[in-house]
Amino acid sequence: MSDHHNQQPKRTIVPFGPQHPVLPEPIHLDLVLEDEKIIEAIPSIGYIHRGLELLAEKIEYPEFVSVAERICGICSFIHGLGYVQAVEDILKLDVPTRAKYLRTMWSEFSRMQSHLLWLGLAADAFGFENLFMASWKVRESILDIFEETTGGRVIFNVCQVGGLRKNVETDTLRRIKKDLDAIEIQIRNVCDIFVNDPSTKHRLVGVGILSKEMAHELGAVGPMLRASGIASDTRMLGYAAYSDVKFDIITETAGDCYARVLVRINEIYQSLSIIRQLIDKIPEEQVVYNKPKANPVGESFMRLEQPRGEVVYYAKGNGSKNLERFRARTPTFANIAPMLHVLKGQELADVPNIVLTIDPCISCTER
């Protein structure tokens, strides 16, 4: 028998990222390959460390909301919401019901635009450019609603400790509810392609499987966790106005890239349902702000559901106008370990799809 039949597969290390044509995020992985198969993936985190958490000591706590929102431009609204809820918890401050409803509505719009953005990026990763553009076109309609109701498209600055900076008139809300019917048709047209098109299934079904046991053991969160069959969603804690609306936790059992697409698509439809319920039930009373009477003393943990999964905020006040400590543990940080586990044994060509299925947000990870 000739020698080359006995040769070991060749091992190479391929640096992947931080600026890679298929990745919208500056994530860096060293991929250890045998031929085209991945044996190990080693991450390097810290390219864009920005020190936002330290600013809590220098900026007065009512103003810090705008810094918290800048942790990430895509999930900015819920970062601001998590921060104000943590401070309100320390202050034992009551927030007007109307403000809670509007906060919840914006949280769900935030989830929709984030998932639509992600669907576009997923389509781009496997080379479906038309689908990428169609997803982002629909997302613009959601951003238009954000712009009309908050004044911003990326950073909103509408939450403040004690409530909201601005109200949204009930007539406007009713009109938005009508507009959602047309937007839903557009969303369904785009999402049907993801669900049914053979070319998307070919690239996603059976790729990057995360078992239920490993999802639990490695601490996956959000769609990554729910696509592996675990029903965990921190919205069920009932923060803001979530206790006043009806919704189910969306799960899939296959645990592959396709299951994660299905979870996110069904969450978009669920968000539409939650927003409609909120607009129907919103109290007529127009008060949206209760002023804090003191500076925060004490500490609080706050858990919320970002589009990408569970996010944890910690705030500590010492009675001065500046917080002593602020920490955010973001969902991408939690999902990096499961993603590295899933990459092992996969083909090099599938790396972009697998990395994108956690919906990575490196600016969130590197606060």
Per-residue pLDDT of 195-227, as tens digits, reads 999 988 988 899 999 999 999 999 999 999 999
Q: What is the pLDDT of residues 241-260, one digit of tens each?
A: 999 999 999 999 999 999 99
Helix (H, G, I), strand (E, B) or coil at 298: strand
Q: How confident is the model at residue 353 (pLDDT cuts 50, 70, 90)?
A: confident
Dihedral angle, C-alpha 8, 10, 12, 16, nearest 10 °: -110
AA identity, residue 152: G
Please give the pLDDT value at position 24: 72
Q: What is the pLDDT of residues 101-158, one digit of tens each?
A: 999 999 999 999 999 999 998 888 878 899 999 999 999 999 999 999 999 999 999 9
Q: What is the pLDDT of residues 48-94, one digit of tens each?
A: 677 788 898 899 999 999 999 988 888 899 999 999 999 999 999 99
pTM (2 d.p.): 0.94
Is the pLDDT score of 1 beyond 70? no
All structural domains of the chain: 50-355+361-365 (1.10.645.10)
Determine which helix (DSSP H) or strand (DSSP E) holds 16, and give its type and residue range.
strand 11-16
Contact predicate 184/136, CB 8 Å: no
String of DSSP letters for 295-306 = --EEEEEEEEEE
Is the pLDDT score of 363 beyond 80? no
